[in-house]
Structure 1
Amino acid sequence: MDEIAARRAFEDALLSYKPQFETFFLSKLFGLSYHYADETLTIAFPIHDFLFNPQGWVHGGVSAFVLDVAMGHLLWHTLKASGSTLEMKTQYVAPLKGTTARCVANFIRKGKGICFLEARLFDDQGQLTVAATSTWKVNRPKDAVAP
């Protein structure tokens, strides 16, 4: 593992994070960037070796984290309300390797209290590596944490 890069990423995240959507600590640590278009969110991030499992590719927990973040941020951006993941099904299709990754999240169905979303994670060759579907509880404005 490139310990210098890992320390630099951690220190940069400590200096730049804010406890809100898009800029929270883990988002900064993993170098996530957000692009919203219509009702779709694309998150891009660099693949660092400090994200690897012992086999030498991105750990499945990191992939699940990015998928969950993408769906939650899309809900927040579109509905102007935060949400809570009630359930998430994750399918690991191929190892996530390379230098960059891209995650795309969309709504399956929007409801007033419950929403259904999906997200897919691709490697830098455009190959699908992980897919997820999820059920979200929409937090009412009085329950929501302000961004």
Structure 2
Amino acid sequence: MFDPPHLMKSLRNNFKRNGFKNGEHDISWNFIEKFYEMDSALPIRMAPKLTKRHITIPAFADLSVKLAMQALSHTVAAGIYTMVQLKALDPVASATADFIDYVDKLFNYFNSRNLYRKGPMAHPLSPSSGHVSFLQID
């Protein structure tokens, strides 16, 4: 049996170290770093839980599932999208935001415990849930 929280932590560590490529699109940790730099300078932050520890991942912090999931959260994805729309980040950062949002939904999908939790992927698989269509790759 796989352990979703620790798989996500490993995913974050590999993502930071190597990045990914989705077709022609580069998915890069650098966009999270750039977003953090811009967001941390704002008086009201878009991702207030995102800290320097999430970005630099000091010794033993790479063992923290919480830091991994906060860095790969819907909030961070939405913040990157917002910065792209405001032209503060390059439009290619959208691929990274898409990836982060997908990872967040995937984590919720595999880590759900409640029948009535908010969010489309935050509840267990059922005939009426969107889980199957979410996992289908075109």
TM-score grouping bracket, smaller chain normalisation: 0.3 to 0.5
How high is the TM-score relative to the length of structure 1? 0.32
Q: Which protein has the bigger helix share?
A: 2
Q: Which protein has the bigger strand share?
A: 1
How high is the TM-score relative to the length of structure 2? 0.33
